[in-house]
Amino acid sequence: MKAACLAGIEKVTILERPAPEPGPGEVLVRVRTVGICGSDVHYFKSGRIGDQVIIPPFTIGHEAAGEVAKLGTGVTGLEAGQPVAIEPAIACGQCEVCQRGRPNLCAGVRFLGTPPIEGAYREYLVMPAANLFPLPKGLSLEEGALAEPLAVGLYAVNRARISPGETVAVFGCGPIGLSLILAARLAGAVVLAAEPLPARRAFALGIGADRVFDPQQTDPVAEIMKETGGRGVDAAFEAAGQPTALRQAIETAALGGRVVMVGIPAEDDWQIPSHLARRKELDLLNIRRSAFCAEKIIRLMESGRLKAAGLVTHRFRLEELARGLKLVAGYGDGVIKAVIEI
Ligand SMILES: [Zn+2]
Ligand SMILES: [Zn+2]
């Protein structure tokens, strides 16, 4: 099978590798669509995210959907040819956090495309059957591949306990910021957002953000304070991985509000305005990927409540992975979500 591997900083090479075989309880999947994630771009540009370092050649990619190709022994409820979305996290199931229902925090997790677990930019991969969610009729493989990033937004909105009538701010309207907006709207919140790129601002408005500010033209903090009568928002989401955006989230959160850190910063340390955060007694929430949300996303898409297919703006072949990663890294051509078709 063909596999696209990172061969060094900003280098991708296509290698021929043996297709894996499914063991007991596992399934071989013919990968069809893999979304390019901001975390893929981090690995492409710097070879690492924090202390997770890539040793080339290594295949990244984790936002995947495909078709069942072969069942390992003991697998029931799936059949060859069936389209499935893939949950990329394989938690150990045994440790304290797994037992407490927080498998996204499992220290022993194996996550597709995160060293040392090879990712999804290849023709075939093997996953435990429990990591596959059959796609209902009417949902595309692209929508299946979107389930993972959309799950992050839903998980963060659930973790922040957003309720109808609350007001939230979202700083950064990339795919994760947009997934936060979609989930916050479903939760019944009024959504204010900030984003410098015109195409993303337009998209945010199109999916139901109430106001979207351009931080290069106006001060989004002043605008959001004005919009909320000086009170600030119940919850502010940082979805840019930028120190400025985190500061703005803290500045716009209401007294006793929640600040939710969703973005992956390039730096190893965040700086926060400590006295402001302390006087407001803010709940500072970190988000680690997601848990139990991909299946909810699929249900929401199936029911028509969540329309997300439009997020995919660019499509590339496996051989064009480097082009796709560069486009996403440079925010070129109005890109929102680029996918690799295999
Ligand atoms: Zn992702
Ligand atoms: Zn565990």
How does pLDDT run along the chain (342 residues), one tens digit per residue? 999 999 999 999 999 999 999 999 999 999 999 999 999 999 999 999 888 999 999 999 999 999 999 999 999 999 999 999 999 999 999 999 999 999 999 999 999 999 999 999 999 999 999 999 999 999 999 999 999 999 999 999 999 999 999 999 999 999 999 999 999 999 999 999 999 999 999 999 999 999 999 999 999 999 999 999 999 999 999 999 999 999 999 999 999 999 999 998 888 899 999 999 999 999 999 999 999 999 999 999 999 999 998 999 999 999 999 999 999 999 999 999 999 999
Nearest CA to 38 out of 265, 238, 314 is that of 265
Token pair for 223: 């605008």
Q: In terms of domains, do 217 and 322 share one?
A: no
- Ligand that lies nearest to the alpha carbon of residue 86, given by its number in the listed order: 1
Note whether 92 and 183 are same-domain residues. Answer: no
Q: Same structural domain for residues 65 and 123? A: yes
| 211 and 238 share one domain | yes
CB-CB contact of 324 with 330 (8 Å): no
Q: Give the ligand at the shortest distance from the Cα of 95.
A: 2
Distance CA 328, CA 44 (A): 11
Residue 302 lies in a domain: no
As a whole number of angstroms, the distance between CA 157 and CA 236 comes to: 10
CA angle 40, 43, 48 (to 5 degrees): 140
Ligand 1 centroid to Cα of residue 63, in Å, is 6
Do 244 and 312 lie in a common domain? no
The bound ligand whose nearest atom lies closest to the alpha carbon of 34 is 1
The answer to whether residue 184 sits within a structural domain is: yes
Residue 327 sits in the same domain as residue 271: no
Tell me the CA–centroid distance for residue 106 and ligand 2, in Å. Answer: 4
Residue 201: which domain range? 151-286
Measure 99 CA to ligand 2 centroid, in angstroms: 7
Q: What is the CATH number of the domain that holds 59?
A: 3.90.180.10
Distances (CA, A) of 292 to 70, 94, 104, 111, 185: 25, 17, 9, 15, 19
Residues 193 and 315 placed together within one structural domain of the fold: no
Residue 222 alpha carbon to ligand 1 centre in Å: 32
Of 124, 110, 121, the C-alpha closest to 27 is: 124
122 and 155 fall within a common domain: no
Give the 3-state DSSP-derived string for 21-80, with helices as H, strands as E and coil as C.
CCCCCEEEEEEEEEECCHHHHHHHHHCEECCEECCCCECCCCEEEEEEEEECCCCCCCCC
SS3 at position 133: strand
Distance CA 260, CA 214 (A): 21
Nearest-ligand number for the alpha carbon of 36: 1
- Helices 198-206/175-186 angle, 10° precision: 20
Residue 277 CA to ligand 1 center (angstroms) comes to 29
Task: Tell me whether residue 144 is in a domain.
Answer: no
95 alpha carbon – ligand 2 mean position (Å): 4
Question: How many domains does the structure of the chain reveal?
Answer: 2
Give the Å distance between the CA of 207 and the centre of ligand 2.
36
State the CATH number of the domain containing residue 277.
3.40.50.720
Residues 74 and 160 reside in one and the same domain: no
One domain, residues 237 and 278: yes
Ligand nearest to the CA of 40: 1
- Which ligand is nearest the CA of 92, by number? 2
Say how many Å lie between the CA of residue 92 and the centre of ligand 2.
4
User: By C-alpha distance, which of 333, 322, 279, 312 is closest to 33?
Assistant: 312
Is 169 contained in some domain?
Answer: yes
Beta strand spans in the chain (E): 2-8, 11-16, 26-35, 48-49, 52-53, 63-71, 83-86, 89-90, 110-111, 124-128, 132-134, 167-171, 190-194, 211-213, 233-238, 253-261, 283-286, 312-317, 337-341
In a domain? residue 145: no
From the CA of 109, how far away is ligand 2's center (Å)?
6
Q: Would 297 be classed as within a structural domain? A: no
- Å from CA of 311 to ligand 2 middle: 32
Asked if residue 139 belongs to a domain, the reply is no
